[in-house]
């Protein structure tokens, strides 16, 4: 059975895209940037020595799952959520929803998705997609990173949903239980922005928020000593571009999408100052993009001497200074 | 980012970018991945070199096929243990080059599930490279 009236749409990010798509299907007209902004999706975190990763890395959005939780708190939307002990019960529950015509989002390891090109496939347990049908042991999937719905065999879906390791999905599914016709946008937007400012400025953990950006700037000069050879270093440096641009961010590590949210918010709550903040963040995003293109270029050219890492460090420090100033002023404006 | 600067040609990998349209509105556009459009050949070159380098390490007896796939799939030692459900202590033993033949069939199956390659492929990778070693 395929849920015929489900409208597949590409999105910048898998989690905000899946949530938006499910809410649209349930009748709430809301955009992806609005979902992202209200749920305080913008973030930064740097992980220099985490056992789960083979090399230092960073994130540019809040913790997986947090968008959904924040959105529930601020809009009144309610989701049914469930995870499972074993593949059998997980598959049964998903199949039952499909048979009832209920599209459901599920959390998966990206690596087992057969329809993803080989060069994109990495073990990461926090990808979200929406299952919209099943025929002959093949699921029909609405994956917001693809222009059209795609097919995924049951075996691969089960492997992806029940991968173990860091952030193991355990077959996690969610779908809307209650969706209001509308909600208090002003309140939700203000809360979303306030929390985002808190995440960026005040979390008392040295590798998160603006502090995390500065740690990234400081530690990136250590990267050459941590790589096994030049090609490995080149690969890791070019991954900066993937994390900021390609891995479902809408460009510049979500800064462009958050700018879009601020612009939309300025109209909805009639606060023209937010339009200026949107413009400013777009420019900050351009700076991140400049940094990511620089990383891709020096990686490709194997131009990875210490001076290049100092340059990258300096570019990150500049972003950190600008974002600190930006979020401080945004926080005061929204009070 | 202005809309005109956002487009890249890469039909195999499409992404959504938020850009500034001519009328000043920020909206989504669908475009190709800039990185894949411009640097995919470099990714494949590095991957090929990595495969070769790891194959040589198996040949020299420095690593075995479990280590090969662990590096190829960018998994840390801890993550591999967590994903297979095999105790770290045992994973450490399994990763020692000379211990490959002592890995149980059930453990190999667990590695095979995580790496998403058949057990035969893991065994073939090990024996192929060690065979080369014997031929030398």
Whether the Cβ atoms of residue B7 and residue A251 lie closer than 8 Å to each other: no
Phi and psi angles of residue B8, each rounded to the nearest 5 degrees, phi first: -135, 150
- Does any CB of chain B come closer than 8 Å to the CB of residue A268? no
Quickly list H helices, B14-84: 34-59, 65-72, 77-84
User: How many interface pairs between A and B have CB atoms less than 8 angstroms apart?
Assistant: 131
pTM: predicted TM-score of the whole model, two decimal places: 0.95
Residues of chain B positioned with their CB less than 8 A from the CB of A233:
none
Low-confidence ranges of chain A (pLDDT < 50): none
At A247 the pLDDT is 87
Whether the Cβ atoms of residue B112 and residue B122 lie closer than 8 Å to each other: yes
Q: What is the pLDDT of residues B24-34, one digit of tens each?
A: 999 999 999 99
At A312 the pLDDT is 98
Structure tokens at A262: 């601020």
At A14 the pLDDT is 97
Q: pLDDT-derived band of residue B135, with 50, 70 and 90 as boundaries?
A: very low
ipTM: 0.95
SS3 A312: helix
Residues of chain B positioned with their CB less than 8 A from the CB of A263:
25-26
Rounded CA-CA distance A43/A39 in Å is: 11
Residues of chain B positioned with their CB less than 8 A from the CB of A260:
18, 26-28
- CATH number of this structure's domain B46-129: 1.10.260.40
Structure tokens at A3: 């849920």
- CATH number of this structure's domain A14-178: 3.90.70.10
Asked if B16's CB is within 8 angstroms of A235's CB, the reply is no
Of B101, B133, B6, nearest in space to A286 by CA? B6
Q: Residue A95: is it exposed, middle or buried by C-beta count within 10 angstroms (0-12/13-18/19+)?
A: middle
Query: In which residue are the tokens 């095999």 written?
Result: B86
Asked if A231's CB is within 8 angstroms of B15's CB, the reply is no
Residues 42-101 of chain A with CB under 8 A from chain B are 51-54
At B134 the pLDDT is 47
pLDDT surpasses 70 at B133: no
Asked if A263's CB is within 8 angstroms of B26's CB, the reply is yes
At A335 the pLDDT is 81
Mean per-residue pLDDT, B58-80: 97
Rounded CA-CA distance A207/A116 in Å is: 32
Pinpoint the residues of chain B covered by CATH 1.10.260.40.
46-129
At B131 the pLDDT is 59
Mean per-residue pLDDT, B54-62: 95
Q: pLDDT-derived band of residue B48, with 50, 70 and 90 as boundaries?
A: very high
């Amino acid at each position: 059975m395929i849920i015929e009236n489900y409208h597949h749409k590409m999105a910048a990010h898998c989690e905000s895209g899946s949530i938006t798509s499910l809410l649209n299907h349930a009748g709430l007209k809301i955009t992806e940037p609005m979902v992202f902004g209200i749920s305080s999706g913008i973030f930064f975190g740097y992980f220099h020595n985490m056992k789960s990763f083979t090399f230092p890395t960073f994130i540019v959005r809040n913790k997986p799952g947090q968008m959904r939780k924040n959105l529930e708190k601020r809009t009144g939307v309610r989701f049914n959520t469930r995870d499972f002990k074993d593949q059998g019960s997980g598959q049964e529950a998903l199949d039952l929803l499909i048979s009832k015509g209920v599209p459901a989002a599920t959390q998966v390891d990206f690596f087992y998705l057969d329809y993803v090109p080989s060069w994109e496939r990495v073990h990461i347990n926090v990808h979200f997609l929406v299952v919209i049908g099943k025929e002959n042991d093949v699921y029909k999937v609405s994956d917001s990173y693809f222009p059209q719905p795609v097919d995924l065999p049951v075996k691969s879906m089960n492997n992806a949903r029940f991968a173990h390791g860091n952030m193991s999905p355990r077959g996690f599914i969610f779908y809307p239980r209650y969706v209001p016709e509308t909600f208090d946008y002003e309140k939700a937007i203000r809360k979303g922005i306030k929390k985002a400012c808190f995440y960026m400025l005040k979390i008392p953990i040295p590798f998160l928020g603006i502090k995390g950006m500065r740690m990234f700037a400081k530690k990136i000069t250590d990267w050459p000593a941590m790589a096994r050879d030049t090609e490995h270093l080149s690969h890791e440096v070019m991954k900066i571009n993937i994390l900021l641009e390609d891995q479902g961010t809408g460009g510049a590590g979500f800064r462009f999408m958050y700018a879009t949210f601020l612009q939309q918010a300025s109209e909805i709550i009639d606060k023209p100052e937010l339009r200026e903040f949107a413009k400013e963040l777009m420019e900050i995003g351009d700076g991140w993009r400049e940094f990511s293109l620089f990383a891709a270029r020096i990686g490709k050219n194997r131009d990875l001497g210490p001076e290049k890492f100092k340059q990258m460090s300096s570019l990150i420090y500049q972003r950190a200074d600008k974002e600190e100033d930006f979020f401080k002023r945004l926080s005061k404006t929204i009070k | 980012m202005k809309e005109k600067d956002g487009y890249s040609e890469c039909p195999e990998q499409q992404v959504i970018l938020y850009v500034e349209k001519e009328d000043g509105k920020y909206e989504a556009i669908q475009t190709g991945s800039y990185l894949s459009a411009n640097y995919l050949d470099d990714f494949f070159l590095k991957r090929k070199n990595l495969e070769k380098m790891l194959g040589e390490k198996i040949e020299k007896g420095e690593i075995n096929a479990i280590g090969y796939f662990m590096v190829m799939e960018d998994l840390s030692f801890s993550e591999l243990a967590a994903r297979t459900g095999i105790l770290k202590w045992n994973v450490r033993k399994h990763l020692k080059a000379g211990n490959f033949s002592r890995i149980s069939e059930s453990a190999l199956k667990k590695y095979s599930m995580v790496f998403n390659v058949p057990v035969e492929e893991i065994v073939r990778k090990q024996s192929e490279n060690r065979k080369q070693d014997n031929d030398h």
